[in-house]
Amino acid sequence: MDDEHLSADVVSLEGANIEIVEADHVQIHQGGARSIVASQVELNRGSAFSITGDSISTLQSGFIAAQGENVVVKEGNALALIGNTVEMEASQAGVVVANEINCENTSSLILLTRSVNGSVETTLDTRQAALAGLVAGVAVGMVLFVGNLLSSRRR
Protein backbone atom coordinates (compact mmCIF):
# COMPACT_ATOMS: atom_id res chain seq x y z
CA MET A 1 0.00 0.00 0.00
CA ASP A 2 1.60 3.25 -1.16
CA ASP A 3 -0.98 5.99 -0.53
CA GLU A 4 -0.51 9.73 -0.34
CA HIS A 5 -2.60 10.75 2.69
CA LEU A 6 -4.61 8.86 5.30
CA SER A 7 -6.82 10.54 7.88
CA ALA A 8 -8.95 8.66 10.45
CA ASP A 9 -9.58 8.25 14.17
CA VAL A 10 -7.44 5.09 14.39
CA VAL A 11 -4.85 3.99 11.82
CA SER A 12 -3.10 0.63 12.02
CA LEU A 13 -0.61 -0.27 9.28
CA GLU A 14 1.45 -3.42 8.95
CA GLY A 15 4.15 -3.68 6.30
CA ALA A 16 2.87 -0.59 4.48
CA ASN A 17 4.31 2.78 3.51
CA ILE A 18 2.34 6.00 3.39
CA GLU A 19 3.14 9.68 2.86
CA ILE A 20 1.03 11.42 5.52
CA VAL A 21 -0.96 9.93 8.42
CA GLU A 22 -3.26 12.03 10.61
CA ALA A 23 -5.25 10.34 13.37
CA ASP A 24 -5.96 10.20 17.08
CA HIS A 25 -4.09 6.90 17.36
CA VAL A 26 -1.50 5.56 14.88
CA GLN A 27 0.14 2.12 15.00
CA ILE A 28 2.72 1.19 12.37
CA HIS A 29 4.44 -2.20 12.40
CA GLN A 30 7.25 -2.88 9.90
CA GLY A 31 6.16 0.02 7.75
CA GLY A 32 6.87 3.67 7.25
CA ALA A 33 5.50 7.16 6.84
CA ARG A 34 6.89 10.50 5.80
CA SER A 35 4.75 12.42 8.31
CA ILE A 36 2.77 11.17 11.31
CA VAL A 37 0.52 13.52 13.28
CA ALA A 38 -1.48 11.91 16.08
CA SER A 39 -2.29 12.10 19.77
CA GLN A 40 -0.79 8.65 20.33
CA VAL A 41 1.85 7.10 18.05
CA GLU A 42 3.29 3.58 18.19
CA LEU A 43 6.06 2.78 15.70
CA ASN A 44 7.38 -0.80 15.87
CA ARG A 45 10.29 -1.76 13.58
CA GLY A 46 9.37 1.05 11.25
CA SER A 47 10.63 4.33 9.90
CA ALA A 48 9.36 7.88 9.61
CA PHE A 49 10.60 11.28 8.59
CA SER A 50 8.68 13.31 11.18
CA ILE A 51 6.44 12.35 14.09
CA THR A 52 4.30 14.78 16.06
CA GLY A 53 2.09 13.67 18.93
CA ASP A 54 1.29 13.83 22.62
CA SER A 55 2.56 10.31 23.34
CA ILE A 56 5.14 8.77 21.00
CA SER A 57 6.50 5.26 21.51
CA THR A 58 9.01 3.60 19.17
CA LEU A 59 10.68 0.20 19.25
CA GLN A 60 13.58 -0.75 16.97
CA SER A 61 12.70 2.12 14.64
CA GLY A 62 14.47 4.95 12.90
CA PHE A 63 13.20 8.45 12.23
CA ILE A 64 14.48 11.96 11.56
CA ALA A 65 12.49 13.99 14.12
CA ALA A 66 9.94 13.42 16.87
CA GLN A 67 8.17 16.10 18.87
CA GLY A 68 5.77 15.27 21.67
CA GLU A 69 4.86 15.61 25.31
CA ASN A 70 6.21 12.11 26.11
CA VAL A 71 8.66 10.47 23.71
CA VAL A 72 9.92 6.90 24.22
CA VAL A 73 12.66 5.44 22.01
CA LYS A 74 13.77 1.85 22.61
CA GLU A 75 16.58 0.34 20.53
CA GLY A 76 16.17 3.05 17.92
CA ASN A 77 17.88 5.91 16.10
CA ALA A 78 16.74 9.50 15.69
CA LEU A 79 18.25 12.72 14.43
CA ALA A 80 16.21 15.00 16.73
CA LEU A 81 14.00 14.39 19.76
CA ILE A 82 11.99 17.18 21.37
CA GLY A 83 9.69 16.57 24.30
CA ASN A 84 8.72 17.41 27.83
CA THR A 85 9.81 13.93 28.94
CA VAL A 86 12.08 11.78 26.76
CA GLU A 87 12.88 8.16 27.60
CA MET A 88 15.65 6.40 25.69
CA GLU A 89 16.86 2.83 26.06
CA ALA A 90 19.73 1.38 24.01
CA SER A 91 19.26 4.19 21.48
CA GLN A 92 21.17 6.91 19.67
CA ALA A 93 20.09 10.46 18.85
CA GLY A 94 21.71 13.50 17.28
CA VAL A 95 19.99 16.24 19.29
CA VAL A 96 17.79 15.71 22.34
CA VAL A 97 15.87 18.63 23.86
CA ALA A 98 13.67 17.93 26.89
CA ASN A 99 12.80 19.04 30.40
CA GLU A 100 13.54 15.54 31.70
CA ILE A 101 15.43 12.66 30.12
CA ASN A 102 15.31 9.10 31.44
CA CYS A 103 17.91 6.98 29.70
CA GLU A 104 19.78 3.73 29.79
CA ASN A 105 22.70 2.74 27.56
CA THR A 106 22.12 5.75 25.31
CA SER A 107 24.22 8.19 23.32
CA SER A 108 23.60 11.61 21.80
CA LEU A 109 25.59 14.28 20.04
CA ILE A 110 23.91 17.26 21.75
CA LEU A 111 21.85 16.98 24.93
CA LEU A 112 19.84 19.98 26.20
CA THR A 113 17.86 19.22 29.34
CA ARG A 114 17.10 20.30 32.90
CA SER A 115 17.29 16.80 34.35
CA VAL A 116 18.99 13.53 33.34
CA ASN A 117 18.17 10.22 35.01
CA GLY A 118 20.32 7.27 34.00
CA SER A 119 23.39 6.81 31.84
CA VAL A 120 23.91 8.71 28.62
CA GLU A 121 27.06 9.30 26.63
CA THR A 122 26.96 12.73 25.03
CA THR A 123 29.37 14.81 22.98
CA LEU A 124 27.92 18.17 24.08
CA ASP A 125 25.79 18.57 27.19
CA THR A 126 23.69 21.67 27.96
CA ARG A 127 26.60 23.72 29.31
CA GLN A 128 29.00 22.70 26.52
CA ALA A 129 26.37 23.38 23.82
CA ALA A 130 25.76 26.87 25.23
CA LEU A 131 29.50 27.54 25.31
CA ALA A 132 29.95 26.23 21.75
CA GLY A 133 27.10 28.50 20.58
CA LEU A 134 28.66 31.49 22.31
CA VAL A 135 32.10 30.81 20.81
CA ALA A 136 30.61 30.26 17.34
CA GLY A 137 28.62 33.52 17.63
CA VAL A 138 31.70 35.49 18.64
CA ALA A 139 33.75 33.94 15.82
CA VAL A 140 31.10 34.73 13.19
CA GLY A 141 30.75 38.27 14.57
CA MET A 142 34.51 38.83 14.34
CA VAL A 143 34.64 37.54 10.75
CA LEU A 144 31.77 39.84 9.73
CA PHE A 145 33.39 42.80 11.53
CA VAL A 146 36.76 42.25 9.80
CA GLY A 147 34.96 41.77 6.48
CA ASN A 148 33.17 45.10 6.93
CA LEU A 149 36.44 46.86 7.80
CA LEU A 150 38.17 45.45 4.72
CA SER A 151 35.30 46.27 2.37
CA SER A 152 34.99 49.86 3.69
CA ARG A 153 38.73 50.45 3.13
CA ARG A 154 38.44 49.39 -0.52
CA ARG A 155 35.81 52.03 -1.29
Same-domain check for residues 103 and 72: yes
Same-domain check for residues 84 and 101: yes
Q: Is the pLDDT of residue 2 over 50?
A: no
Q: Is the pLDDT of residue 19 over 70?
A: yes
Global pTM? 0.78
Distance CA 36, CA 133 (A): 31
Same-domain check for residues 112 and 132: no
Same-domain check for residues 133 and 147: yes
Q: Which domain holds residue 109?
A: 2-124
What confidence tens digit (pLDDT) does each residue in 95-125 have?
A: 899 999 999 999 998 888 889 999 888 776 6
Same-domain check for residues 146 and 78: no
Distance CA 154, CA 148 (A): 10
pLDDT at 155: 60
Same-domain check for residues 67 and 118: yes
- Rg from Cα positions in the chain: 20
Domain count of the fold of the chain: 2
Pairing type for strands 62-74 and 92-124 reads unpaired
pLDDT (average), residues 30-36: 93
